[in-house]
């Protein structure tokens, strides 16, 4: 078993190094091919994508949902294949990939002692958004280690190379985020990541309850830090990325976590509606459901 895992990791490492050397345009073409295969074959990812789009856009016809579903899996294929290329890119290269500098950069340069929370959902290229953010100031970001050591090493080295401090998703990571907040630094969060255990709050997302993390309002409690929701739209033919940003108000820091979670999901939903074809619809966003609601991903549901 150990030999098989070692061989698998070596093959994965070889594939990562190959993708890192290909031009971004070619890289994206391979990702599109991969995503297209996932859509047309009887895969679980395609089934979850169809379910999520039917739940979130019941007013759209089947042709629209099929088109968006296929394009979203293509986008996820590109997110997968572009990552090694981004991980080995220099900060200067990352800067050139932005169609224009992000608006939040001005907030990051303010010396008012307040932290800047960047909330990037699984939309567009969240890997680019996270790597590029560290160019604009000291940054700490939540991090869940990859099971494959080769991928985990790449990610850790890449994010450290642009200046980000990785905060593991445990108590030690929470302390890192709190310390970065107190220093007035940038903090990166994936706001649509379903929390584990009972640490979340169900709140409406596209009209259906979704378990939502309460980490953001917990970190913001009693503070007036800046909060920006954003995503980096992937432009065609490897031309780079275009930022979309929403500066949030005090509602995301509400002491009532139910109201804060609803505000968080409202901002994420507003961004997703701008480019639904670049959202990760293959993620079981509505699992686990609250009491009294059925599991939409259960076969026959």
The reported pTM is 0.93
Which residues, listed in sequence order, are joined to residue 231 by a DSSP beta bridge?
Answer: 244
Are the C-beta atoms of 121 and 210 separated by less than 8 Å?
no
Let me know the angle formed at the C-alpha of 142 by 217 and 194, rounded to the nearest 5 degrees: 65
Q: List pLDDT tens digits, range 264-284.
A: 999 999 999 999 999 999 999
Assign 2 a pLDDT band (cuts: 50, 70, 90): low
Sequence-ordered alpha helix ranges (H) in the chain: 2-21, 24-40, 44-56, 62-87, 91-97, 104-108, 126-133, 149-161, 171-182, 215-220, 257-274
Name the DSSP letter for residue 193: S
In 3-state terms, what secondary structure has residue 189?
Answer: strand
Assign 301 a pLDDT band (cuts: 50, 70, 90): low
Which are the contacts of 269, defined by CB distance < 8 A and separation ≥ 6?
A: 205, 206
More confident residue, 120 or 5: 120
């Amino acid at each position: 078993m150990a030999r098989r895992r070692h061989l698998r990791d070596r093959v994965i490492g070889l594939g990562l190094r190959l993708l890192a050397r290909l031009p971004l345009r070619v890289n994206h073409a391979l990702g599109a091919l991969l995503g297209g295969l996932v859509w047309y074959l009887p895969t679980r990812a395609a089934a979850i994508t169809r379910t999520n789009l039917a739940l979130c856009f019941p007013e759209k016809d089947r042709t629209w949902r099929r088109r968006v579903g296929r394009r979203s899996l293509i986008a996820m294929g590109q997110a997968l294949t572009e990552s090694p290329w981004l991980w080995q890119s220099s900060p200067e290269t990352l800067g050139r990939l932005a169609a224009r500098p992000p608006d939040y950069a001005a907030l990051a340069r303010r010396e008012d002692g307040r932290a800047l929370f960047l909330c990037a959902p699984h939309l567009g290229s969240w890997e680019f958004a996270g790597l590029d953010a560290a160019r604009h100031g000291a940054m700490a970001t939540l991090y869940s280690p990859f099971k494959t050591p080769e991928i985990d090493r790449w990610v850790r080295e890449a994010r450290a190379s642009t200046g980000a401090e990785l905060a593991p998703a445990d108590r030690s990571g929470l302390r890192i985020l709190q310390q970065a907040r107190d220093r007035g630094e940038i903090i990166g969060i994936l706001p649509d990541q379903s929390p584990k255990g009972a640490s979340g709050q169900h709140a409406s997302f596209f009209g259906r309850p979704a378990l939502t993390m309460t980490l953001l309002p917990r970190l913001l409690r009693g503070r007036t830090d800046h909060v920006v929701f954003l995503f980096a739209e992937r432009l065609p033919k490897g031309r780079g990325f275009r930022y979309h940003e929403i500066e949030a108000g005090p509602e995301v820091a509400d002491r009532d976590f139910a109201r804060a979670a609803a505000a968080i999901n409202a901002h994420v939903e507003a961004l997703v509606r701008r480019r639904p074809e670049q959202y990760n619809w293959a993620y079981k966003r509505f699992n686990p459901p609250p009491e009294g609601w059925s599991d939409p991903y259960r076969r026959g549901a």
